[in-house]
Amino acid sequence: MASQVWVTADTHFGHEEAIRLFARPARDVREMDDMLLDRINAHVGKRDTLLHLGDFTGPMSWSGDEGDASLARARDLRERIRCRRVELVRGNHDPRKRRFRRIFDAVHDILSFRGWTGGDERIVCCHYPMRSWQGMWNGALHLYGHAHGAAPEEGRSCDVGVDCWELGPVTLDRACAMLVARPLPARESHHAARQPSRTALP
């Protein structure tokens, strides 16, 4: 079977408050973590790649003894994901710690690349939803997280967070096929609403 690329975001592993904040059907954080891992592993194959667009864990302490425990927990969670390759696009809860980066096969602030099974459109992946992104006027697609479904999907952009996809990942091909069916944004409407010129003087 050919390998696939899957995308997800905002798992917030270990974040008890996420159950209430995002209305996740779990009694406690252990049940939530197990459920999210089960949803990922029900889809991704061993040879597949998972692009995680940020907030792998929820807010945690990353210093001292607590930091060691957080790192061990994050490493255990990653090891329970059965696909060989997991790349992270850093979110606001993902620490800039070398030991944390080593859990993943690659870590990015923004990931921009071309090509998917159904087309050659550029795909721009960021944890945060952008209003404008590289190549958007030429059909580029934008995948993001962070908003947990609360931000409108502008143009050819899509929230790939677990709270928008039945608490699991979606294939890159499915997300992209959905987006290319949308019309390109109109340059005219964008320019008509641009900010007025301002002076830098007080």
Question: Is the pLDDT at 187 greater than 80, yes or no?
Answer: no
How far apart, in whole angstroms, are the C-alpha atoms of residue 142 and residue 193? 21
Question: Is the pLDDT at 194 greater than 70, yes or no?
Answer: no
The ranges assigned to domains in the chain are: 5-186
For the chain, give the percent of residues with pLDDT over 90: 85
At residue 189 the predicted structure's pLDDT band, cuts being 50, 70 and 90, is low
CA-closest candidate to residue 34, choices 59, 11, 51, 9: 11
Question: Is the pLDDT at 40 greater than 90, yes or no?
Answer: yes
Question: Is the pLDDT at 32 greater than 80, yes or no?
Answer: yes
Q: In this predicted structure, what is the pLDDT of residue 185?
A: 82
Measure the CA angle with vertex 158, ends 173 and 45; round to 5°. 35
How far apart, in whole angstroms, are the C-alpha atoms of residue 165 and residue 150? 13
How far apart, in whole angstroms, are the C-alpha atoms of residue 152 and residue 155? 9
Task: Look at domain 5-186 and name its CATH class.
Answer: alpha beta
